[in-house]
Amino acid sequence: MIFRKILLLTLLTALILSTGCSKEPTVSESSSESSFASIIITPEKSEVSSESSSSETSSDSSEHSSVPEKTPSSGESSVPSITTSSTPETSSSAPEETFPKDYRTLILVNPWNHIPEDYTLELETVQGNYKMDIKAAESARNLLEAAAEAGFNMQLCSAYRTIERSAYLYERKVNQYIGYGYSEEDAKVEAARWVAPPGTSEHHTGLAMDLVSAEYWGYYSDLEHAYEEFDSFEWMYEHCAEFGFILRYPKDKQDITGITYEPWHYRYVGVEAAEYIMENGLCLEEYLEEIK
């Protein structure tokens, strides 16, 4: 009888404990013990800029921009995104386990595919103030290290970008074209060829980075297609896949990607996909179509 009581008590305790566990709230802050600042954010919960701006150097003429990127500070507060109108329920981050396995690394964000409202990411420093999602950050650092060993001092000029940041860059570009005499409608179309409208920039995923060699800045002040003539580009093109990165906007795929050729923009997709994509000269859209 006593034994039964003990058994019942044990079962009851187990039941209470397990119920408690299932109610565990979604983790919103990383308990990562790494020395890198690590925060989970959603596109809706955008960051307050850290006052120390990055050393972004250039270009009005592309997704890349001369205005310093804002990077999250660890004491960030949530600022409503100007592009989303989600309810609190949909904007709270869902547990990662509910996403398909490749939800992040193979996520497609392009002019026709907005970043999902429930997309979450955990940022980690790659270089200076530039941060990427933890799935890509370590590989990016390894890639930079390998490039350095090969004699190339690669410098990031863009990585994770908030929706607000994209909105700012896009608006600026639209206004530039309006200044050239374009109608507002035409200005928006033209601007979108160079700067992804908010919500459609791959930089929102934390899986993309823009980088050129330090040497390049000795010759150019903007990001230009001429970067493809540098040895560092050749090295990157040849070795990026070993670290899970692809050249995301190839010259001959502009109709499919919707983005002009960008020899500086690399995207993390994981080693397996990257090697297949680079070996077969595909773009991400084509790869995703193939593995459907």
State how far the Cα of 171 lies from the Cα of 177, in Å rounded to an integer: 10
**Using CB under 5 A as the criterion, which residues of the chain lie in contact with Zn ion when the complex forms?**
63, 210, 265
- In the set 69, 122, 202, 262, the catalytic residue is 262
Contact 13, 36 (CB under 8 A): no
Query: Which residue's CB is nearer to Zn ion, number 44 or number 63?
Result: 63
State how far the Cα of 240 lies from the Cα of 235, in Å rounded to an integer: 8
Query: Which residue's CB is nearer to Zn ion, number 124 or number 210?
Result: 210
Rounded to the nearest whole angstrom, what is the least distance from the CB of residue 27 to Zn ion in the complex? Answer: 29
Q: Is 262 a catalytic residue?
A: yes
Query: Which residue's CB is nearer to Zn ion, number 177 or number 194?
Result: 194
Rounded to the nearest whole angstrom, what is the least distance from the CB of residue 103 to Zn ion in the complex? Answer: 21
State how far the Cα of 160 lies from the Cα of 145, in Å rounded to an integer: 20
Residue 130, number of CB atoms within 10 A of its CB: 25
Rounded to the nearest whole angstrom, what is the least distance from the CB of residue 64 to Zn ion in the complex? Answer: 6
Rounded to the nearest whole angstrom, what is the least distance from the CB of residue 205 to Zn ion in the complex? Answer: 11
Q: Helix H segments across the chain?
A: 2-22, 88-91, 134-149, 163-179, 184-192, 231-239, 254-257, 271-279, 284-291
Query: Which residue's CB is nearer to Zn ion, number 47 or number 63?
Result: 63
State how far the Cα of 115 lies from the Cα of 81, in Å rounded to an integer: 13
Which of the residues are catalytic? Answer: 262
